[in-house]
Amino acid sequence: MAGKLTDLAIRKAQPRDKKYKLSGGHGLTLIVMPDGAKYWRLRYSWVGKEKELSLGRPYPELTLKDAEAEVMRLRQLIASGVDPAEQRFQAKLESKQKAAQVFAEAAEAWFEFRSRAWATRTSEQVREYLDKDLLPTLGQRALSAVTTRELATLSRSIEERGAPDVAKKARQWLASIFSYARANGWTSGDPTRDLRAVVLPSTGAKNYPHLTADELPEFLRKLDTFDASTLVKGAAMLALWTANRPGVTRTLRWAELDLDDALWIIERGRDDMKRGYSHLTPLPRQAVDMLREIHKLTGTFEYVFIGRNDPRKPLSDGAVNALLKRLGYRGRQTTHGFRHLISTALNEQGYESDWVERQLAHGDPDKIRGTYNKAVYLEPRRKMMQDWADYLDKLRKDGKVTSLDKRAA
């Protein structure tokens, strides 16, 4: 159908098995699709090459009259030496560049780029903290407007909820995001450059407060009776029974457990394990009993302590610390502080310091005293941690602080 198009001809154009075109003069073309949709195109020649450009909206959203007017505008551009397709491409590129100058867009571009080389767990972890900590606060901020003081305040807010390791990683991610943004020309500043100097005084051992032995009976009773998630309370108790790091405890996988042998087996290179050391954790009877009960709830999932909103993910890093705060122990006890509490108690009760250090996963087990036995001090540690769990039960029941009952091996 040649010549000038009419609205009547367009309305009468019915779909066929294959798409076909209706020409309307000056390169205006209407493409009729098999599903009945009708799209406008401009056909034109540029530097001896035939090209085609979409007019954007389909018919009848873009009427025939408006399509003809748009074609005349584009023809004028071509006559003036401007390729409308290239102009549109540059406009989109500029729009994308401007959008990337907002922190959220830069962070998403950075995440998409970097996550290609990350392990799945690392990618999930970074995604979690982007969504939880960085984007809600910084998302709509222009990159050039973000200040060092602003980032320091954000970092401290993460530390204050009892997650200093997350705060440290967040600072590293922020530095990487701004580096990526500068490399792409989205900003020239670097508010992360002096961030370490500003936040360093708030890091260190004081971020891991812990209770004294005299305060344990009341704490245990409060924890027992407090109305909270079984999984969060379970993660808190497992940390108190084993002295493992908070990140390792909350990401415990069922595949790591041998409950028949009362053993938690952490392979070398495991995420959240400091320096990726392997580690064998003996489980006291109380921990095994609790884990068997939790298996009824989460045994079909990968993680023992599953996330509240997504069971495919582990418990969030702040869940146990939030529970401790609700119990009234803000600034007095953190999940990481359990390690200090246990270390202090076991050393004061005269257990071998090497056993305690191995229980805390300090040092590479493959290199300790030249041995190749990864089960370093496993049996004496079994007894030590069972003594400790029994001691906690006694404190909960009697409310009296006494020496640990060092039962015969």
Q: 274 an active-site residue?
A: yes
Catalytic residue selected from 245, 313, 340, 358: 245
Find, among 348, 357, 329, 358, the residue nearest to 391 by Cα. Answer: 348
Q: 340 an active-site residue?
A: no
Give strand pairing partners of 44. Answer: 51
Catalytic residue selected from 336, 340, 358, 381: 336
State both tokens at 180.
């990526």
Coil, strand or helix: which one is 28?
Answer: strand
State both tokens at 228.
């909270």
Between CA 404 and CA 344 the distance in angstroms is: 13
| Count of helices and strands (H, E) across the chain | 17, 7
Q: 210 an active-site residue?
A: no
**How large is the C-alpha radius of gyration of the chain?**
32
Q: 372 an active-site residue?
A: yes
State both tokens at 237.
């108790």
Catalytic residue selected from 362, 382, 383, 396: 362
Neighbours of 402 (CB within 10 A): 10
Between CA 57 and CA 63 the distance in angstroms is: 9
Q: 18 an active-site residue?
A: no
Q: 369 an active-site residue?
A: no
Between CA 19 and CA 67 the distance in angstroms is: 20
Catalytic residue selected from 339, 340, 358, 381: 339
Between CA 29 and CA 17 the distance in angstroms is: 19
Catalytic residue selected from 49, 296, 372, 407: 372
Between CA 345 and CA 351 the distance in angstroms is: 9
Catalytic residue selected from 274, 285, 312, 406: 274
Catalytic sites, residue numbers: 245, 274, 336, 339, 362, 372
